[in-house]
Protein backbone atom coordinates (compact mmCIF):
# COMPACT_ATOMS: atom_id res chain seq x y z
CA UNK A 1 0.00 0.00 0.00
CA UNK A 2 1.12 3.55 -0.77
CA UNK A 3 -0.43 6.69 0.74
CA UNK A 4 0.25 10.13 -0.77
CA UNK A 5 -0.93 13.23 1.08
CA UNK A 6 -3.26 15.59 -0.76
CA UNK A 7 -0.99 18.52 0.07
CA UNK A 8 1.81 19.56 2.42
CA UNK A 9 -0.39 19.19 5.51
CA UNK A 10 -0.91 15.51 6.44
CA UNK A 11 -4.09 16.20 8.43
CA UNK A 12 -5.81 17.08 5.13
CA UNK A 13 -5.87 13.41 4.17
CA UNK A 14 -4.29 10.95 1.77
CA UNK A 15 -4.82 9.26 -1.57
CA UNK A 16 -4.12 5.53 -1.15
CA UNK A 17 -2.89 3.13 -3.80
CA UNK A 18 -2.71 -0.66 -3.81
CA UNK A 19 0.41 -1.95 -5.56
CA UNK A 20 -0.61 -5.37 -6.83
CA UNK A 21 -0.45 -7.55 -9.92
CA UNK A 22 1.96 -7.47 -12.88
CA UNK A 23 4.71 -6.41 -13.03
CA UNK A 24 4.88 -7.20 -9.29
CA UNK A 25 5.47 -10.87 -8.45
CA UNK A 26 2.81 -12.76 -6.52
CA UNK A 27 4.17 -13.85 -3.17
CA UNK A 28 6.15 -12.58 -0.22
CA UNK A 29 7.70 -9.16 -0.88
CA UNK A 30 9.90 -8.81 2.18
CA UNK A 31 11.94 -6.13 3.99
CA UNK A 32 10.50 -3.12 2.15
CA UNK A 33 12.54 0.10 2.20
CA UNK A 34 11.47 3.50 0.83
CA UNK A 35 13.20 6.46 -0.85
CA UNK A 36 12.49 9.28 -3.27
CA UNK A 37 13.97 11.88 -5.58
CA UNK A 38 12.41 14.80 -7.44
CA UNK A 39 10.26 12.77 -9.82
CA UNK A 40 9.85 9.26 -8.36
CA UNK A 41 9.13 7.26 -5.23
CA UNK A 42 11.12 4.05 -4.77
CA UNK A 43 10.34 0.93 -2.77
CA UNK A 44 12.83 -1.94 -2.64
CA UNK A 45 12.05 -5.43 -1.38
CA UNK A 46 13.45 -8.95 -1.34
CA UNK A 47 11.52 -11.24 -3.65
CA UNK A 48 10.59 -14.42 -1.78
CA UNK A 49 7.87 -15.30 -4.28
CA UNK A 50 8.22 -18.58 -6.20
CA UNK A 51 11.27 -18.25 -8.44
CA UNK A 52 12.19 -14.88 -6.96
CA UNK A 53 15.47 -16.09 -5.53
CA UNK A 54 15.23 -13.75 -2.48
CA UNK A 55 17.10 -11.05 -4.36
CA UNK A 56 16.30 -7.36 -4.27
CA UNK A 57 13.82 -5.76 -6.64
CA UNK A 58 12.98 -2.07 -7.11
CA UNK A 59 9.58 -0.44 -7.58
CA UNK A 60 9.83 3.01 -9.22
CA UNK A 61 6.59 5.02 -8.90
CA UNK A 62 5.87 8.10 -11.01
CA UNK A 63 5.53 10.86 -8.39
CA UNK A 64 3.68 13.39 -10.56
CA UNK A 65 1.14 10.75 -11.58
CA UNK A 66 0.62 9.81 -7.92
CA UNK A 67 0.07 13.49 -7.06
CA UNK A 68 -2.62 13.52 -9.77
CA UNK A 69 -4.34 10.46 -8.27
CA UNK A 70 -3.00 7.87 -10.72
CA UNK A 71 -0.72 4.90 -10.06
CA UNK A 72 2.05 4.35 -12.62
CA UNK A 73 5.01 2.19 -11.63
CA UNK A 74 7.78 -0.04 -12.98
CA UNK A 75 9.60 -3.01 -11.41
CA UNK A 76 13.24 -3.86 -12.11
CA UNK A 77 15.89 -6.30 -10.91
CA UNK A 78 19.36 -4.97 -10.06
CA UNK A 79 22.47 -7.07 -9.47
CA UNK A 80 21.76 -9.63 -6.74
CA UNK A 81 21.47 -8.16 -3.26
CA UNK A 82 20.16 -10.09 -0.29
CA UNK A 83 18.35 -8.18 2.43
CA UNK A 84 18.25 -4.38 2.35
CA UNK A 85 19.05 -2.29 -0.71
CA UNK A 86 17.50 0.95 0.60
CA UNK A 87 16.93 3.78 -1.89
CA UNK A 88 18.19 7.24 -0.96
CA UNK A 89 15.81 9.84 0.41
CA UNK A 90 17.14 12.59 -1.84
CA UNK A 91 16.34 15.79 0.04
CA UNK A 92 16.60 18.94 -2.06
CA UNK A 93 16.96 17.07 -5.37
CA UNK A 94 16.28 19.67 -8.07
CA UNK A 95 17.08 17.70 -11.23
CA UNK A 96 15.76 14.15 -10.90
CA UNK A 97 16.96 11.51 -13.32
CA UNK A 98 19.24 9.71 -10.86
CA UNK A 99 18.49 7.56 -7.81
CA UNK A 100 21.16 6.20 -5.45
CA UNK A 101 21.30 3.11 -3.24
CA UNK A 102 23.86 2.00 -0.65
CA UNK A 103 24.06 -1.61 0.50
CA UNK A 104 26.49 -4.35 1.34
CA UNK A 105 28.00 -6.02 -1.69
CA UNK A 106 25.45 -8.76 -2.25
CA UNK A 107 25.30 -10.50 1.12
CA UNK A 108 24.46 -9.67 4.72
CA UNK A 109 27.03 -12.12 6.12
CA UNK A 110 30.34 -10.30 5.70
CA UNK A 111 32.43 -8.17 3.37
CA UNK A 112 35.10 -5.53 2.92
CA UNK A 113 33.30 -3.33 0.37
CA UNK A 114 30.07 -1.35 0.28
CA UNK A 115 28.07 -1.16 -2.95
CA UNK A 116 26.86 2.19 -4.26
CA UNK A 117 24.29 1.81 -7.04
CA UNK A 118 23.38 4.57 -9.49
CA UNK A 119 20.03 4.05 -11.24
CA UNK A 120 18.75 6.03 -14.24
CA UNK A 121 15.85 5.59 -16.69
CA UNK A 122 13.88 4.18 -13.77
CA UNK A 123 10.42 5.21 -15.08
CA UNK A 124 10.74 2.68 -17.87
CA UNK A 125 11.10 -1.04 -18.46
CA UNK A 126 14.79 -0.61 -19.33
CA UNK A 127 16.51 1.09 -16.36
CA UNK A 128 20.26 1.51 -16.27
CA UNK A 129 22.46 0.55 -13.31
CA UNK A 130 26.06 1.48 -12.53
CA UNK A 131 27.68 -0.26 -9.54
CA UNK A 132 30.65 0.99 -7.52
CA UNK A 133 32.26 -1.12 -4.78
CA UNK A 134 34.01 1.03 -2.18
CA UNK A 135 36.68 -0.65 0.01
CA UNK A 136 35.93 -0.30 3.74
CA UNK A 137 37.14 -1.86 6.99
CA UNK A 138 36.12 -5.56 6.98
CA UNK A 139 32.80 -6.33 8.65
CA UNK A 140 31.12 -9.60 9.63
CA UNK A 141 27.77 -10.69 10.99
CA UNK A 142 28.18 -10.49 14.79
CA UNK A 143 26.82 -13.48 16.76
CA UNK A 144 26.41 -12.11 20.29
CA UNK A 145 24.40 -9.54 22.24
CA UNK A 146 23.93 -9.74 26.01
CA UNK A 147 21.29 -8.55 28.46
CA UNK A 148 21.08 -8.69 32.28
CA UNK A 149 20.54 -11.97 34.15
CA UNK A 150 23.24 -13.74 32.17
CA UNK A 151 21.16 -14.18 29.03
CA UNK A 152 21.92 -13.42 25.41
CA UNK A 153 19.56 -11.96 22.82
CA UNK A 154 19.35 -12.15 19.08
CA UNK A 155 21.53 -10.22 16.67
CA UNK A 156 19.32 -11.02 13.67
CA UNK A 157 19.36 -9.18 11.37
CA UNK A 158 22.52 -7.11 11.37
CA UNK A 159 25.09 -6.27 8.69
CA UNK A 160 22.43 -4.61 6.58
CA UNK A 161 21.93 -0.91 5.86
CA UNK A 162 18.71 0.49 7.30
CA UNK A 163 18.15 3.68 5.31
CA UNK A 164 20.07 6.10 3.05
CA UNK A 165 19.88 9.89 3.26
CA UNK A 166 21.09 12.36 0.59
CA UNK A 167 21.94 16.04 1.08
CA UNK A 168 23.96 18.25 -1.29
CA UNK A 169 25.76 15.44 -3.06
CA UNK A 170 26.48 13.31 0.02
CA UNK A 171 24.99 9.94 0.96
CA UNK A 172 25.02 8.73 4.56
CA UNK A 173 23.95 5.33 5.82
CA UNK A 174 24.47 3.10 8.85
CA UNK A 175 24.42 -0.58 9.69
CA UNK A 176 25.25 -2.83 12.65
CA UNK A 177 28.00 -5.38 12.21
CA UNK A 178 30.95 -7.02 13.85
CA UNK A 179 34.38 -5.37 13.62
CA UNK A 180 37.96 -6.69 13.91
CA UNK A 181 38.44 -4.95 17.29
CA UNK A 182 36.74 -7.79 19.23
CA UNK A 183 37.10 -10.49 16.56
CA UNK A 184 33.63 -9.70 15.13
CA UNK A 185 31.81 -10.78 18.30
CA UNK A 186 29.46 -7.92 19.29
CA UNK A 187 27.65 -5.75 16.72
CA UNK A 188 28.72 -2.10 16.61
CA UNK A 189 27.40 0.90 14.64
CA UNK A 190 29.11 1.45 11.28
CA UNK A 191 28.53 4.76 9.46
CA UNK A 192 29.47 5.49 5.85
CA UNK A 193 29.66 8.99 4.35
CA UNK A 194 29.89 8.95 0.54
CA UNK A 195 30.39 11.77 -1.98
CA UNK A 196 28.58 11.32 -5.31
CA UNK A 197 29.25 14.74 -6.85
CA UNK A 198 32.14 13.55 -9.01
CA UNK A 199 32.40 11.04 -11.81
CA UNK A 200 32.43 8.10 -9.38
CA UNK A 201 31.33 7.74 -5.75
CA UNK A 202 34.08 8.18 -3.15
CA UNK A 203 34.16 7.31 0.54
CA UNK A 204 34.59 10.50 2.57
CA UNK A 205 34.46 8.96 6.05
CA UNK A 206 33.63 5.75 7.84
CA UNK A 207 33.01 5.72 11.58
CA UNK A 208 32.62 2.97 14.15
CA UNK A 209 30.47 3.77 17.18
CA UNK A 210 31.56 1.37 19.92
CA UNK A 211 29.78 1.99 23.25
CA UNK A 212 32.21 -0.30 25.10
CA UNK A 213 33.52 -3.80 25.67
CA UNK A 214 30.71 -6.34 25.65
CA UNK A 215 28.11 -3.78 24.54
CA UNK A 216 26.00 -4.58 21.48
CA UNK A 217 24.74 -1.71 19.30
CA UNK A 218 22.08 -2.68 16.77
CA UNK A 219 19.54 -1.26 14.29
CA UNK A 220 21.20 2.13 13.69
CA UNK A 221 20.16 4.92 11.33
CA UNK A 222 21.75 8.28 10.51
CA UNK A 223 21.18 11.60 8.76
CA UNK A 224 23.36 14.68 8.09
CA UNK A 225 22.80 18.42 8.48
CA UNK A 226 24.26 21.24 6.40
CA UNK A 227 27.39 21.46 8.60
CA UNK A 228 28.27 17.78 8.04
CA UNK A 229 27.12 16.90 11.55
CA UNK A 230 25.41 13.54 11.90
CA UNK A 231 22.40 12.59 14.00
CA UNK A 232 21.91 8.91 14.72
CA UNK A 233 20.12 6.31 16.80
CA UNK A 234 20.76 2.70 17.75
CA UNK A 235 19.47 -0.04 20.08
CA UNK A 236 21.90 -1.01 22.86
CA UNK A 237 22.23 -3.83 25.38
CA UNK A 238 24.83 -5.49 27.59
CA UNK A 239 25.08 -7.64 30.71
CA UNK A 240 24.25 -4.46 32.65
CA UNK A 241 21.70 -2.82 30.33
CA UNK A 242 18.32 -3.98 29.07
CA UNK A 243 17.64 -3.27 25.40
CA UNK A 244 17.46 0.54 25.13
CA UNK A 245 17.19 3.28 22.51
CA UNK A 246 20.09 5.72 22.22
CA UNK A 247 20.57 8.90 20.17
CA UNK A 248 23.74 10.82 19.41
CA UNK A 249 25.30 13.58 17.35
CA UNK A 250 28.63 13.15 15.59
CA UNK A 251 30.71 15.95 14.05
CA UNK A 252 31.95 14.48 10.79
CA UNK A 253 34.97 16.80 10.73
CA UNK A 254 36.31 16.32 14.25
CA UNK A 255 34.86 12.95 15.22
CA UNK A 256 33.18 14.51 18.26
CA UNK A 257 30.44 12.17 19.54
CA UNK A 258 27.79 13.14 22.11
CA UNK A 259 25.33 10.39 23.05
CA UNK A 260 22.48 9.84 25.50
CA UNK A 261 19.88 7.21 26.25
CA UNK A 262 16.52 8.23 24.77
CA UNK A 263 14.45 5.36 26.16
CA UNK A 264 15.89 3.02 28.78
CA UNK A 265 15.05 -0.66 28.61
CA UNK A 266 12.76 -1.73 31.41
CA UNK A 267 12.76 -5.51 31.40
CA UNK A 268 13.90 -8.87 30.14
CA UNK A 269 13.69 -9.65 26.42
CA UNK A 270 12.30 -13.18 26.45
CA UNK A 271 11.38 -13.67 22.79
CA UNK A 272 14.87 -13.85 21.36
CA UNK A 273 14.36 -14.26 17.63
CA UNK A 274 14.40 -11.00 15.66
CA UNK A 275 15.84 -7.73 16.90
CA UNK A 276 13.88 -5.47 14.53
CA UNK A 277 13.72 -4.37 10.90
CA UNK A 278 13.31 -0.61 10.94
CA UNK A 279 15.18 2.34 12.42
CA UNK A 280 14.77 5.93 11.26
CA UNK A 281 16.61 9.23 11.62
CA UNK A 282 15.66 12.33 9.61
CA UNK A 283 16.67 15.99 9.62
CA UNK A 284 13.92 18.47 10.43
CA UNK A 285 13.20 21.17 7.80
CA UNK A 286 14.70 23.66 10.28
CA UNK A 287 18.08 22.24 9.24
CA UNK A 288 19.39 21.60 12.77
CA UNK A 289 17.00 19.28 14.62
CA UNK A 290 17.21 15.52 14.18
CA UNK A 291 14.31 13.14 14.77
CA UNK A 292 14.88 9.44 15.47
CA UNK A 293 12.49 6.55 15.97
CA UNK A 294 13.58 3.20 17.35
CA UNK A 295 12.52 0.34 19.59
CA UNK A 296 13.30 -0.49 23.21
CA UNK A 297 12.21 -3.23 25.59
CA UNK A 298 9.25 -2.79 27.89
CA UNK A 299 8.41 -4.27 31.29
CA UNK A 300 5.46 -6.46 30.35
CA UNK A 301 7.14 -9.86 30.39
CA UNK A 302 5.99 -11.97 27.47
CA UNK A 303 3.27 -9.59 26.29
CA UNK A 304 3.50 -6.13 24.79
CA UNK A 305 7.27 -6.34 24.95
CA UNK A 306 8.25 -3.84 22.27
CA UNK A 307 7.88 -0.09 22.70
CA UNK A 308 8.66 2.59 20.10
CA UNK A 309 10.22 5.90 21.08
CA UNK A 310 10.50 9.07 18.98
CA UNK A 311 13.15 11.56 20.05
CA UNK A 312 14.21 14.99 18.75
CA UNK A 313 17.70 16.31 19.49
CA UNK A 314 20.26 18.87 18.30
CA UNK A 315 24.03 19.21 18.30
CA UNK A 316 25.09 20.74 21.63
CA UNK A 317 28.54 22.39 21.55
CA UNK A 318 28.64 22.48 25.36
CA UNK A 319 27.87 18.83 25.98
CA UNK A 320 30.54 16.42 27.17
CA UNK A 321 31.83 14.22 24.37
CA UNK A 322 34.33 11.64 23.22
CA UNK A 323 36.25 11.59 19.95
CA UNK A 324 35.61 8.77 17.50
CA UNK A 325 38.49 8.00 15.17
CA UNK A 326 37.76 8.14 11.48
CA UNK A 327 38.67 4.98 9.55
- Quick check: 41 pLDDT over 90? yes
Tens of pLDDT, residues 113-129: 999 999 999 999 999 99
Q: What is the pLDDT of residues 261-314, one digit of tens each?
A: 999 999 888 777 788 888 999 999 999 999 999 999 988 767 777 899 999 999
Instruction: Look at residue 39 and tell me whether its pLDDT is greater than 90.
Output: yes
- pTM recorded for the entire structure: 0.95
Taking the C-alpha atoms of residue 78 and residue 128, their distance in angstroms, rounded to an integer, is 9
Report whether pLDDT(327) > 60.
no
How high is the mean pLDDT of the chain? 93
pLDDT at residue 232 greater than cutoff 80: yes
pLDDT digits (tens, 9 = 90+) for 171-194: 999 999 999 999 999 999 999 999
Q: Which DSSP string do the residues of 47-60 spell out, in sequence order?
A: E-STT-TTBEEEEE
The pLDDT tens digits of the residues spanning 52-91 come to: 899 999 999 999 999 999 999 999 999 999 989 999 999 9
Residues 6 or more apart whose Cβ sits within 8 Å of residue 268: 147, 148, 149, 151, 242, 297, 301
**What DSSP designation does 227 have?**
T
Span 237-246, average pLDDT = 96
Q: How far, in Å, CA of 128 to CA of 76, rounded?
A: 10
Residues in the chain: 327
Q: Which of 244, 250, 221 is nearest to 314 (CA)?
A: 250
**pLDDT exceeds cutoff 60 at 326:** no
- CA distance readout (Å), 1 to 40, 116, 211: 16, 27, 38
The 10s digit of each residue's pLDDT in 6-26 is 998 999 999 999 998 888 988
pLDDT for 301: 63
DSSP state of 67: H
Determine phi and psi for 181, rounding to 5 degrees: -60, -30
Q: What ranges do the domains of the chain cover?
A: 1-138, 141-327
pLDDT tens-digit readout, 188-215: 999 999 999 998 999 999 999 999 999 9
Between 199 and 139, whose confidence is greater? 139
Amino acid sequence: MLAVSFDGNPVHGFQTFHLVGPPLPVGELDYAKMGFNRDAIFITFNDFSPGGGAGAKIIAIDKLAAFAGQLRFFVSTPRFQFRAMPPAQMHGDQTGGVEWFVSTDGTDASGSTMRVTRMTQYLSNTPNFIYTSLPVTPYRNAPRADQPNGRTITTFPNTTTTQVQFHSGRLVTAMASGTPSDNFTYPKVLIFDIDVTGGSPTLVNEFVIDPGTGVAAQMPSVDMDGDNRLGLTWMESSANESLSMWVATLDGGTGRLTSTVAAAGAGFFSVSFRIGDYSTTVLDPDGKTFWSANEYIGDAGNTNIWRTAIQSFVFDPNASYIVIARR
